Structure 1
Amino acid sequence: MLTRLRQFLDTGNLFRFILALILAFALWAWVTSEQDPEISKVLPAVPVVATDVPDGFTVIGTLGTVEIRLQGPRSRINALEEGAVRATVDLGDIEEPGLYQERVSVDVPSGVRVRSVQPSQITVQLERATGSGS
C-alpha cells in the first residue's frame, strides 16, 4: 500500500489530482452562478411611510417617494411582488412638533440586498394633532 502511494506521488499524479480538483471547483462555481446569476433592479418610485408616529402628533403633507436599487439572485428579484419592498421612516423618538430630517429604512425579502436609496433622508413635518370637537 505504501509503495503504491509513493508511486502515485512520485509520478506527478498528485499535481494533476489537485489541478483537477481546482478546475472542478471552478467549473461548479461558474455553473452555479450562471443558473441563478446576480442581477440588479431599480424601483423608481417607492412611497415612504411613517411608522411609530407619536401619540398626539400628525404628519403634515406627504413623505414622497424614493428610488431603491436592489441586487440579488435573478429568481428572487423577478419574484418580487407589489408591496414586497417597503420604505419607512421611524418617528418614534420625536417628542416635539417641527421639521425633522429622518433616515429612510428599506425592508426587503430574504436574499435581496439594498444597494442604494435616493434620497437616503427625507424631511418630515410633525404638528400636534387637533381635536375634532370645537
Structure 2
Amino acid sequence: MTDNFKPPIKTRTTQELLDIVGSPKKWNRDAVYLAKYELSNRNVDTSEIDKAIKLSELKEEEERLQKANKSYQITDFLFTPKRTILELLFTWELKKDGYTLKAKQQRTFRITLISVIIFVYLIKYIQESL
C-alpha cells in the first residue's frame, strides 16, 4: 500500500500516529492501516494504542454530550438574530445531528415565530383593507 498522504504517515510523530489509530472514524481506512503498521515498526507498545483508543472514545463522548446539551441563548438572538431565526425556522436535522436540547427548543420557538409572523401579516392586511 502506498503512502500518498501529506505529510506521509511515516514522517508523522508517534503521537500523531496514535491519534490516527485512536479515532479511525475520522480518518481514511488506509491511513489507519498505515499508522498501525508504522507504530508496529516503531515498536510502540499495544497498551499505548489501547490508551489512545480509549482517550479518543472519551473525547467523542464528551463532544456528543456537549452537542446534546447545547441550547439557544439570549445572545444568539441579540448578536446573530437573522441566522438564529433562519435556523429555527428552516433547520430540520438538529436532533439527527445530536443537538437534542436545541431541537426541543426549536419546536417551541418555531410555533411561536410562525404565530407571530401570521399575526403581524394579518394585522397588516386588516390595516390595508380599512
Same fold (TM > 0.5): no
- Higher strand fraction: Structure 1 or Structure 2? 1
Greater share of helix: 2
The structure showing larger relative contact order (alpha-carbon pairs under 8 Å, at least 6 residues apart) is 1
Whichever of the two has the greater Rg, that structure is: 1
